[in-house]
Chains A and B, each alone.
Chain A
Amino acid sequence: MPAYSPGAPLPFGGPSGGPPLEVWQVSKTYGTVQALTDVSFAVPRGQIVGLLGPNGAGKSTTMKAVLGLIRPDGGTIRVFGREVHTDPVATKREIGYVPEAPSLYEFLTGAEYLDFVADMYGLPSAVRQERIPQFLAGLELAGHENSLISGYSQGMKQKVALISALLHRPRLLVLDEPLNGLDPRSARVVKDLLRNLATSEGVGVLFSTHVLEIAQAICDQVVILSHGSVLAMDTVGALQARAGLAGSGLEDVFLALTGTGDLSEVVSALSR
């Protein structure tokens, strides 16, 4: 599927079809702050799309809008061809979501929390008995599942949040900095799992991160947001070429595109 460019019309499909996610000219204002301005992009089936941008660029707001957690002032968001706000419950069944700072119910054990999540998605007992231990073992949480979450480290909490997003086998994953706090092995497991889900299951993944090496390694396309607007959207290679930095890392491309390339003055001022 070709990359979308801002302003290009989106090929909206019917209610049963369409790509996992289409975001079209979405705007959102908080009081006097314009959080999003005409944001447009899509997540095609089987692709991982990285959502990048400086702090406060609008990444989390975009993700919340995709989930229907906030209502855009304008624009359209479709998940598999269905507008998010027309049937939010059906839409949420299709999505697995990890928020930027997951707040779990800390008075439950990890196992109780995952059982609770399974109830929310209506997973039958046989399915959860098969999947939950698999995920726990894969992310090295087995043996900790019967402890209260309040005693977990931040990385362990992040793993529980990731498992709860993957448990019901969603067709679209919306992951806001999902690798925060994970140890290298678990981060690798998650990256490989996402790649595998996208390639073999056709899952669409919208993935935000500040670690640009990760984005470069696993994303098929990246969307760069700045001040609530889409600054660029393409494959990493195409963006490198566009920034005239072919062969450079995504970090250099990102800094060049967001206009924060020369940081030497800042560093020297802070070092004084």
Chain B
Amino acid sequence: MNLHRVRRLASVLVASQLRSGRSTSDPKSFLGHPALIGVLDAVLGLLAFSLADFGLSAAAPPSSLLDPLVHAILPYLPTIAVAAVLVAGVMFELTSTTKFSGSDSANWLPITPREYVAASSAAVAYTYSPAMALFLGGMLPFALATGTGAVWAAALVLSIAALFEGAFVVEMVRSVTQRMSAVTAGRRGHVALLLRAVLIVVIIVAFQFAFNPVLLFGLLQHAALLDVVTAVVPLFWSTQALTDWLNGSVALGLVFSAAQIVFVGLLLVLAARLRTKYWLVASSEVQLSAVEYAAGHPALRAIGLSREEAALASKDLKGYLRRRELLPMLVIPIVLILIVVLEGGTIGGLVAIVWIGWVAGFFSLLLALSSVGQERRALQSLYAFPITARNLLRAKAASVLIPSLIGAVGTSVVVGFLFRFSAAAVLEIAVLNIGAAVVLGFWGLVFAGRFSDFQERPRPQYLRPAAMLGAMGSGMILVFAIVVPGGVAILSPVLNDLGLVAWTAGSIVVLGALAVLWARSGFDRMLRELPF
């Protein structure tokens, strides 16, 4: 493996993630330089350290409080890092189209699969390192105060290894889903496309199960295997090592740490082999049944869309099931709902209602945030068609809200069944989830109309990273403002708790109306000039 080549390629991949936005943006700007992330690591780490140190000095808690805190958080940081990189990877790293990945220069430059996997994983690990820097920086004063600075240093090393572990798994998912997208090549009919969609979703969910501590804990709990979990499952070896160290078992800690590092190395080998074996750059060729060339989409016309809007929405809805790069979007709500299902016995009804309300809103937000950027360069064709900003907004809203509302109602029924809620409560939960999905859907369109990223790059994104953070943060606040009071109202022993019901309904109407207005102005502005 040529490390210089790996470093150069990783640097290009990181720059590709940073340089989103208009093609005319200054390429020499520091904001587009990979060193920016290193600076962010240092700044966030120092900031978190200073804040935590200040808090510790001001509060001066006794060691009887500090020790359990360090034991409860520090060992889990590497394990959580793996899951976080995998979730983020599924959302943001698998969005390259077959067309682009087929013509990616990495395919024809003299780069070995192992070098590519190492570089790509290093880029992913480096990109998500600021979050780790924040947590580790915040934990350092606590570790120093409890005399566990050496364990903190070990946690730092294992966390870096964990970032790579998550990134290698992302590479494995990338190769396997690429292979899955080719299984339909030469086949006929919509069943072939559906089969491909199901296979890709199942593969990603399976990887999520294998490398997500919450899901894995839930699954092992059901199988009554929890007692042996941390010693046997590689995902938990970092946690085991750090726990052993904190408990004074240095030798055992070293053994598990070494095992963890070896496991990460094995994942690199496995990920490289999967890329060698399964990386197919050919697009799949599927034959579908003949269309009638008729002005159609009666179901979409029935909900009030014009012919142009119905055609646009129909095109997007087909895309959700046919585009490999959009399928990971559908995995997120499945995984989040599985968490509720697996944890069903241990969480309360209110937590479940808030959780699924959050999932409904989050799913809608994600679809909306990607809805405009997923047009990629084909946006140019949309601009050339005789459609207005209003047409485009209504079509995008329909293509976001139709799957979101189906999901919102479906999850309400599942949770209602699991928690044995009454039919009336299930109906109220469904209405609440629909409200959350509508508000968050339009909130996502507010950002999508302004900050979408249309570039085809090795690491494409649908939305510029800063806008993604802003949309996620503000979206979370909005969804909780709706579902928490709504959930309390549904479970309130006082039937028809009017104050909470009025607050929830008012929030949905006011926030929804504002989001629609802002989304409309964003789309108006967007259609004025092609953004590339």
Contact = CB atoms under 8 A, between A and B. Distances in A.
B528 A93 contact: no
A92 to B, nearest CB: 4
Contacts of B297: 119
Q: Which of the listed residues A69, A108, A111 has the most CB atoms from chain B within 10 Å of its own CB?
A: A69
Contact of B319 (A69, A107, A122, A123): A107
Chain B interface, >50% SS class: loop
A57 B285 CA distance: 38
A117 B243 CA distance: 61
Shortest Cβ-Cβ A-B pairs, 8 listed: A151-B285, A119-B311, A103-B377, A107-B322, A150-B283, A92-B386, A69-B530, A103-B378
Contacts of B284: 148, 150-151
Contacts of B386: 88-90, 92-93, 120-121
Interface stretch (B254-262, B286-294, B475-483): B286-294
A111 B318 CA distance: 14
Contacts of A222: none
Q: Which of the listed residues B97, B311, B376 has the most CB atoms from chain A within 10 Å of its own CB?
A: B311
B285 A70 contact: no
Given A31-B24, A106-B97, A108-B315, A120 B291 contact: no
Contacts of A30: 24
A119 B310 contact: yes
A104 interface: yes
A173 to B, nearest CB: 12
Interface residues of A, number: 51
Nearest to A132: B293
A128 B293 contact: yes
Contact of B288 (A105, A109, A117, A122): A109
A125 B288 contact: no
Interface in B290-305: 290-297
A105 B383 contact: no
Contact of A69 (B287, B318, B383): B383
10 contacts: A93-B386, A103-B379, A105-B319, A108-B315, A108-B318, A109-B288, A112-B288, A116-B315, A150-B284, A150-B285
A102 B310 contact: no
B285 A67 contact: no
B307 interface: yes
Contacts of A129: 292-294
Nearest to A93: B386
B5 interface: no
Contact of A70 (B99, B311, B319, B529): B529
Nearest to B291: A111
B316 to A, nearest CB: 9
Nearest to A97: B384
Contacts of B296: 115
B193 to A, nearest CB: 8
Contact of A95 (B318, B319, B380, B384): B384
Q: Which of the listed residues B286, B291, B310, B315 has the most CB atoms from chain A within 10 Å of its own CB?
A: B291
Interface in B262-297: 283-297
Given A71-B528, A93-B386, A117-B385, 20 more contacts: A33-B24, A67-B383, A68-B383, A71-B529, A90-B386, A97-B384, A103-B380, A106-B283, A116-B311, A119-B311, A121-B385, A122-B307, A129-B294, A145-B290, A146-B288, A146-B291, A150-B99, A150-B283, A150-B285, A164-B381
Contact of B387 (A89, A148, A151): A89
B291 A115 contact: yes
A116 B285 CA distance: 20
Given A70-B529, A151-B286, A106 B99 contact: yes
A95 B290 CA distance: 28
Given A103-B380, A107-B322, A120-B387, A148 B529 contact: no
A33 B529 CA distance: 18
A147 interface: yes
A107 B323 contact: yes
A206 B267 CA distance: 56
A242 B388 CA distance: 46
Interface in B332-389: 376-381, 383-388
B384 A151 contact: no
Contacts of A133: 293
A89 B288 contact: no
Contacts of B104: none
B98 interface: yes
B67 interface: no
Interface string A76-120: 000000000000111011010101011111111101101111111
A46 B97 CA distance: 41
A31 B26 CA distance: 9
A224 to B, nearest CB: 25
Interface string A23-34: 000000011010
B102 to A, nearest CB: 9
B428 interface: no
B176 to A, nearest CB: 19
Nearest to B297: A119
Contact of B308 (A70, A90, A114, A119): A119
